[in-house]
Amino acid sequence: MKTLHDLHRPLGSTGLRVSPLGLGTVKLGRDQGVKYPNGFTIPDDKQALRLLACARELGINLIDTAPAYGTSEERLGPLLQGRRNDWVLVSKVGEEFENGQSRFDFSAAHTRYSVERSLKRLKTDRIDLVLVHSDGNDLAILEQSDVYQTLADLKREGKLLAFGFSGKTVEGGLLALREGDCAMVTYNLQAREEKAVIDYAAAHAKGILVKKALASGHACLANGEDPVRRSFELLFGEPGVASAIVGTINLQHLSDNVASVAAVLDQQS
């Protein structure tokens, strides 16, 4: 069985080493307003533990969560107890999801409140990486709110090890990397607009995580060549990319994705 244990790599200059595939956990806590091609049932605790154990066995050490992922953080805290140090935890600030609706708050007070709440929910004394969950107005958030300065303060206090931005524009990604440690970008076979952000990260030792690497599952609906393999060949052909976040709760899909990533990285080495 192919695993990622020997394929962990640096996340920019954060000092964190991450598996090239990360586990996205929106499906552990939220089934409304998500853009997947098929419906799903939120797994119970036993199923969630099995998913985490499978991820760990496959060499995945990166978990991506957020307050906007419903009950994901609250569930992960107890599920990870006793194994916190096995994982690099990524969470977010800025977006809240309540009563089926998203709302955004990038103020200093809310940013600090959100991080403190995530620490409690995740039952940990530090979050490895905190990203700003953009509403799409990337430059306005970075230039007109106190969110980045507050994250820098929290980093100095030791409550997080690194911070960055999960945005939607090239301009936002570039500014976010100049001031922060990491950007999360959309990059896949159908959407390559943010390549300039990946290139900047590679040139300046900044971290890049990729969201929607498989187009939220839609890549798997393509015809012809293996779209998953092609997707990972595209991503890991970019030296700036550290890890791709995949949000599956299907153990076979997870194992297949790991095998594809391992084969692509073996081929490139």
Give catalytic residue positions: 69
Give the Cα-Cα-Cα angle 211, 251, 74 (nearest 5 degrees): 65
User: For the CA atoms of the chain, what is the radius of gyration?
Assistant: 17
Smallest CA-to-CA distance from 206 within 184, 236, 237, 189 is with: 184
Helices (H), the chain: 45-57, 72-80, 108-121, 138-144, 147-156, 170-179, 195-204, 227-236, 251-268
With beta carbons less than 8 A apart as the criterion, state whether 188 and 194 touch: no
Going from the C-alpha of 158 to that of each of 87, 113, 119, 183, the distances in angstroms are 17, 15, 12, 20
Judged by DSSP in three states, 133 sits in strand
Q: What is the spatial distance between Cα 189 and Cα 124, in angstroms, rounded to a whole number? A: 36
| Residue found by looking up tokens 């060549």 in the block | 225
> Are the C-beta atoms of residues 170 and 143 closer than 8 Å to each other?
no
Helix axes 72-80, 108-121, angle to 10 degrees: 40
Cα 99 to Cα 41: distance, rounded to the nearest angstrom: 18
Pull the structure tokens for residue 107: 């103020």
Query: Please, are residues 138 and 176 in contact by the beta-carbon 8 Å criterion?
Result: yes
Rounded Cα distance, 107 and 84, in Å: 29
Residue with tokens 């103020």: 107
